[in-house]
Structure 1
């Protein structure tokens, strides 16, 4: 319950708090009286400055709604014009970098840190838009699609080699595509011979003592596979023949998968990007792929 109090000895005058000596508002709630303290000076100053700032903002910037849209402000500033100007500056810098990149060789790009970072950033965008579906977001690849972070390259891992592969693809419709193709040995060798050959290929570097199947497989390898994959399984990039003496496998290195690969062969296709991307975009993505860690 609230009460209105008057000052003692002055029924019509304001009430003054006995403890603080400050005039009250005359209101009381459960014995608590409200003092009539003025607002702090700093608060009044901030309040008045805010009013002045608001009025100035309304005048300088577009703020008031009108039947035709809104007021334009003293200087005609808009966030859209600001964005347009900033984008223009970015595009101008981009055109300059593109001009330099277009005229530079891969060696010159690698020697220029700013140009290299520009090419790598542009290549990352092109890669995400065109290559991620097969090779993965980080170039890690998956079964049937090469890992671009390791040291195994079918047709070469130098940046120029990567650029060439991007241009013409592998077993694509491009007239100059990498057309390497492993024959299907299911029509040439007996099932047991294929099984022995898979045993040898899967354990070329194994420390286990050779078995009869391993020995037979080695003879078959020397007869049928050395011309492409090399005597030690080191591969041949000129032919696109993969290295077989490491632990990196495109389709899998377990025995059953090797039997399937030898029997039916593999015919993965990478499209040619020469007619799909600009020359600069192809070169940028080559720089990016080369920088992932497996480039030579």
Structure 2
């Protein structure tokens, strides 16, 4: 005898009362396990804010009952690494600057540490790859064209004291006259000397104007750039005969440079970086390929 099958009717689920375009929204409860997980995360979150520093106050923040302080932990980690590196840093500071590139131990440490210093303090102007930004006045540190010298001692001095800043009395200092703005040269003379600079740098130029510009150059520019136009590191005067230009070497840019002059400023890092950091970043820059 077969049992009689009873047709079950689906359980009626109440609705939320929301209706949109004839569609009703059922009021199905969330799964019980999901609700308990939610409650547990809330309890865990409250417990976390009690145990660890969390809530901001008017003059500080809650400290947490377990006394954890991430700032103190980071400072302790930094001190631990500083203590571990103290002996090699002392050697770096005591070493003769010129000897560092030839000392494998010091160079390895200095290049590694200097790369970090460079990225944190120098890359904003010189670029992450140290190639500078042509047309903006930020020198390329990868080539051999150094306004103030590219050996270890010269680089160290430049980093320590900076260039044309007002914070260090020993900063590298030079000033190119604004030949046009100050009325030293007339526009035709500026145009002529620009053509002469184009000529000695191997660019297309007007020969007639360049010939006249040679006399203007001899009377106004040789004192800094030299008779041959190859510059003078004592004054930070650039070599005008090569293809490397800090602000650009086309006729329009050269005209602007001669007319208004340039006055790039580099900060002095002597008061911001420690001596071992300055030596490290000097070694790093020197190792990039352009160091002399």
* TM-score under structure 1 length normalisation: 0.68
Match of 2:115 in 1: 124
Aligned residues: 215
In structure 1, what is the equivalent of residue 150 of structure 2? 157
Separation of aligned partners in 1, 2:78 and 2:120: 22
Matches within 5 A, 1:1-296: 92-142=83-133, 143-173=136-166, 174-186=168-180, 187-206=183-202, 211-296=207-292
Corresponding residue of 1:33: none
SS class of match (1:149): coil
TM-score by length of 2: 0.69
Distance 1:106 1:133 in 2: 26
Change in 2 beyond 3 A, CA 1:291/1:263: same
For the aligned residues, what is the CA RMSD?
2.4
Answer whether contact 2:143 2:289 (CA < 8 A) is retained: yes
Residues 255, 289 of structure 1: CA spacing in aligned structure 2 closer, same or farther, 3 A cutoff? same
Distance, in Å, in 2 between the alignment partners of 1:268 and 1:229 is 17
State the SS of the aligned residue for 1:122. Answer: helix
Measured at CA, do residues 176 and 87 of structure 1 come closer, stay the same or move farther in structure 2, by a change above 3 Å? closer
Cα deviations by residue, 1:180-239 (Å, 9 ceiling, x for unpaired): 010000011111110111111122143879621010111111111011101111100011
Decide whether aligned partners of structure 1 residues 194 and 210 sit closer, same or farther in structure 2, where only a CA change above 3 A counts: closer
C-alpha separation in 2, matches of 1:177 and 1:209: 37
Question: Which has the larger displacement, 255-264 or 186-195?
Answer: 186-195
How many Å separate the matches in 1 of 2:282 and 2:238? 21
Contact 2:230 2:241 in 1 (8 A): yes
Aligned in 2, Cα 1:279/1:263: closer, same or farther, shift over 3 Å? same
Asked if 1 retains the 8 angstrom alpha-carbon contact of 2:232 and 2:238, the reply is yes
Q: Kindly state the Cα deviation for residue 89 of structure 1 after the two structures are TM-superposed.
A: 8.0
Distance in 2 of aligned mates of 1:209 and 1:256: 13
Q: Which secondary structure does the structure 2 equivalent of 1:175 belong to? A: coil
For residues 206 and 261 of structure 2, the distance between their equivalents in structure 1, rounded to whole angstroms, comes to: 26
* Closer, same or farther: CA 121–191 of 1 in aligned 2, 3 Å: same
Q: Distance in 2 between matches of 1:139 and 1:216?
A: 38
Post-superposition CA distance 1:127-162 (Å, at most 9, x none): 000000000001100121000011111111111100
Superposition deviation, residue 118 in structure 1: 0.0
Long gaps (5+) in structure 1:
1-68, 70-85
Q: Cα gap change, 1:237/1:260 in structure 2, threshold over 3 Å: closer, same or farther?
A: same
